[in-house]
């Protein structure tokens, strides 16, 4: 009976020693609980999204500027094409300032397919789809850029995001205004 108690005590001591050796130390636990700063530099999905969405805006605007049935939409599309081309160049310059931020060189397959769909549209159908496309994509971009602004690492990136937000809101307003003007004229 005494031998059973000694064996039980020894096993309990070995178990406690094993637990203390395998667990994290107090310093490790404190370090793990400190949240790491989230930055845009560590989010390649944001940079890919920003570049891809600007490339897509340029290509869709190019189609609308060339084939829209109204001067108003052609004008808005031409301005959008110019703005998003410049925004893409600025984004490339920002990405080059940081290591490990690759940007896509061309549209992905889905975006290329969307541009081809726009090329098949004509007249009022093209104008309607262009307005709907710009308004919906700009709202999505505004959401992404709002989130990104909270994580922006430097003043140049924050300035780029602020410029993008202002332009996206302006385009939404112009297209909504164009839509209400055309509806009132009917």
Contacts 24+ apart (CB under 8 A), 175-182: 175/76, 175/131, 175/134, 175/135, 176/135, 178/70, 178/72, 178/73, 178/76, 178/131, 179/131, 181/72, 182/70, 182/72
Token output for 156: 């140049």
Same domain, 13 and 85: no
Same domain, 71 and 161: yes
pLDDT digits 0-9 by tens, 109-166: 999 999 999 999 999 999 999 999 999 999 999 999 999 999 998 899 999 999 999 9
Residue 16: pLDDT band (50, 70, 90) is low
Q: Is residue 162 part of a domain?
A: yes
Residue 55: pLDDT band (50, 70, 90) is very high
* Rounded CA separation 69/122 (Å): 8
Same domain, 21 and 79: no
Same domain, 21 and 62: no
Least confident of 12-21, 31-40, 153-162: 31-40
Burial 39-60 (b: 16+ CB within 10 A, else e): ebbeeeebbebbbbbbbbbbbb
Q: Is residue 152 part of a domain?
A: yes
Same domain, 66 and 6: no
Least confident of 23-32, 43-52, 94-103, 133-142: 23-32
Same domain, 8 and 62: no
Q: Is residue 151 part of a domain?
A: yes
CATH number at residue 98: 1.20.1260.10
Residue 42: pLDDT band (50, 70, 90) is confident
Same domain, 29 and 47: no
Is residue 142 a contact partner of residue 49, using CB atoms and an 8 Å limit? no
Query: Into how many domains does the chain fold?
Result: 2
φ and ψ at residue 10, rounded to 5 degrees: -65, -45
Is residue 51 a contact partner of residue 103, using CB atoms and an 8 Å limit? yes
Q: Is residue 21 part of a domain?
A: yes
Residue 81: pLDDT band (50, 70, 90) is very high
pTM (2 decimals)? 0.75
With CA atoms as reference, report the closest residue to 92 among 126, 50, 136.
50
Is residue 68 a contact partner of residue 125, using CB atoms and an 8 Å limit? no
Same domain, 152 and 78: yes
Q: Which domain holds residue 7?
A: 2-33
Q: Is residue 141 part of a domain?
A: yes
Helices and strands counted in the chain (H then E) = 7, 0
Same domain, 52 and 86: yes
Same domain, 58 and 103: yes
Same domain, 61 and 118: yes
Q: Is residue 38 part of a domain?
A: no
pLDDT at 99: 77
The upper half-sphere exposure of residue 54, i.e. CA atoms within 13 Å in the direction of its Cβ, equals 25
* Rounded CA separation 129/132 (Å): 5
Least confident of 30-39, 90-99, 134-143, 172-181: 30-39
Same domain, 69 and 124: yes
pLDDT at 30: 47
Burial 153-180 (b: 16+ CB within 10 A, else e): eeeebbebbeebbebbeebbebbeebbe
């Amino acid at each position: 009976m005494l031998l059973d108690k000694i064996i039980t005590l020894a096993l309990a001591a070995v178990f406690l020693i094993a637990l203390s050796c395998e667990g994290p130390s107090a310093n490790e636990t404190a370090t793990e609980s400190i949240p790491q700063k989230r930055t845009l530099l560590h989010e390649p999905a944001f940079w890919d999204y920003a570049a891809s969405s600007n490339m897509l805006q340029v290509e869709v605007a190019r189609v609308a500027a060339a084939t829209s049935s109204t001067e108003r939409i052609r004008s808005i599309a031409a301005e959008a094409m110019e703005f998003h081309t410049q925004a893409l160049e600025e984004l490339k310059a920002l990405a080059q300032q940081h290591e490990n931020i690759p940007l896509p060189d061309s549209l992905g397959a889905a975006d290329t397919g969307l541009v081809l769909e726009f090329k098949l549209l004509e007249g009022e159908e093209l104008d309607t789809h262009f307005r709907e496309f710009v308004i919906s994509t700009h709202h999505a971009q505004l959401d992404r850029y709002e989130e990104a602004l909270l994580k922006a690492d430097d003043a140049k990136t924050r300035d780029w995001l602020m410029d993008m937000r202002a332009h996206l809101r302006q385009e939404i307003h112009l297209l909504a205004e164009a839509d209400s003007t055309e509806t009132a004229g009917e």
